[in-house]
Amino acid sequence: MDSLSVVEKPDFGKIISYTNESPVADTAMVKHTISVAPMLDITNRYFRFFYRMLTRHTVLWTEMLHENSIIHSKLGSKGYLKYFPIENPLVCQLGGNDPEKLALCAKICEEMGYSEVNLNVGCPSDRVQSGAFGACLMKDPELVAKIMKKMNDSVNIPCTVKCRLGVDDFDSYEFASNFVKTVSEKGDVKHFIVHARKAFLKGLNPAQNRNIPPLKYDYVLQLKKDFPQLDFSINGGFKTTEQIQGILVEENGLAGCMLGRKAYDDPWQFGDYDRVFYGQKNPGLSRREILENWADFGEYVMKEENPMVCVPTLVKPIINLLSGQRSNKQYRQFLSDPVNFRKVGNFQDFMYNCIETIDKYNPDVLDQRHPTSE
């Protein structure tokens, strides 16, 4: 494997033993029960490293990465796609519409050890539409099938599709069913991750497209009934553990549930997901331990791994760790004020000062932890 493809874990004193586990190598063992959705400017490798202190089994995704960005990156394709080993199981989501380029990108991802690759056929943003990829590709299932067949023929890891239920006025169940039928049969796709609402290509921005079109969970469940040989994961509108458990009941037959904005807005909930959804031991870190680990991690990144990284980039993944707690306002204010970093000039002291600040307002919140097992 190319030496640039993976950033080795630094030898932190406080990073506990579970981060030394080998990344998942057997893709057959990747269980999509819970996934964190690809989110632009959010699910970068720093965010994903943070999430591995909460959950080892949840499937993590990259941001959507365009075919040309990967192939023509100044860092080189493998430098552009580098990640920390503990991020696996990790899916690289690709954007684009060129079968040859996307097949090449898939091959690079396989060589680097990604668990899976995925084609985005659901993003409705103007920038995506101007490049003729994302959600607008749903109107051309034959092209999507051609792309997926080329990708599947190029690699041995799974190639999946993330899509909507429809686009604009193409929103009947028959449209969604025909899309799945065409892409699965001609593109050899066995797993569809479905955002259970349609996309409007005009008139709504991406945030509105996540909320205004009505959710149709029944369409996704019907797709599973009509295509029992395929795997379907469901995405859209899930906010609580109870909602997720309700949709993942055995009789629905779904492969998993994907969480997007909720994963960013309230990450602490994921600290109990290995136990609840995978029957495995939780990492069991307290918020204090997570922030202490993050202090060491951020210091390593800024001094050794990526000296060009800025403090807000390292703050963003952890900004909602105290969501819903009494000291959340003070926590966010401290992390967001650049004066607090300039006072000390290094990330470790900055984070430890943050911890001391929260201890003044809510001394118990940082020591809360999820049970490691039943």
Answer yes or no: are the C-beta atoms of 10 and 304 closer than 8 Å: yes
354 is catalytic: no
Pairing between strand 231-235 and 60-66? unpaired
Task: Report in angstroms the alpha-carbon separations of 191 from 17, 117, 181, 328.
Answer: 33, 11, 12, 39
Answer yes or no: are the C-beta atoms of 291 and 354 closer than 8 Å: yes
Q: Write down the catalytic residue from 92, 105, 109, 123.
A: 123
Among the residues of the chain, which ranges form H helices? 45-51, 67-71, 77-80, 99-112, 126-130, 141-154, 173-187, 206-209, 217-226, 241-247, 261-265, 273-278, 287-300, 311-315, 328-336, 338-344, 347-361
Phi-psi region of 120 (alpha: psi -120 to 50; beta: other; left: phi over 0): beta
CA dist 262 and 269 (Å) reads: 9
Longest dimension (CA), the chain: 61
Q: Is 317 helix (H, G, I), strand (E, B) or coil?
A: helix
Residue 364 burial (CB count, 10 A): 10
Chain position carrying tokens 């950033």: 7
Task: Tell me which residues are annotated as active site.
Answer: 123
